[in-house]
Amino acid sequence: MTADIHDIADHRPHLTVAADDGVHVLPCDLVRSVIDGKQPSSILTEPVVQRIIEEWLQKVST
């Protein structure tokens, strides 16, 4: 398995998501584009989506 490595310095601000399949660094603009429907949610892996939902649920249920 190979992965593309990008310099995230050009894509600030960003989120760091510790998912089951590893740590992912996502530009906030990418996440916003998924929320706005400009990008399909399938651009994010299932473990990333699960972790985002998990953390969101912890925030709203506390």
Longest dimension (CA), the chain: 39
Strands (DSSP E) found in 1-62 = 14-19, 22-27
Q: Where are the domains of the chain?
A: 8-60
Amino acid type, 52:
I
Q: How far is CA 52 from the centre of its chain?
A: 7
Is beta strand 22-27 parallel, antiparallel or unpaired with respect to 14-19?
A: antiparallel
Q: Is the pLDDT confidence value at 28 over 70?
A: yes
Q: pLDDT (tens digit, 9 = 90+) per residue, 31-50?
A: 999 999 999 999 999 999 99
CA dihedral 57, 14, 26, 35 (to 10 degrees): 60
Mean pLDDT estimate for the chain: 89
pLDDT at position 1 is: 57
Over residues 3-29, mean pLDDT:
85
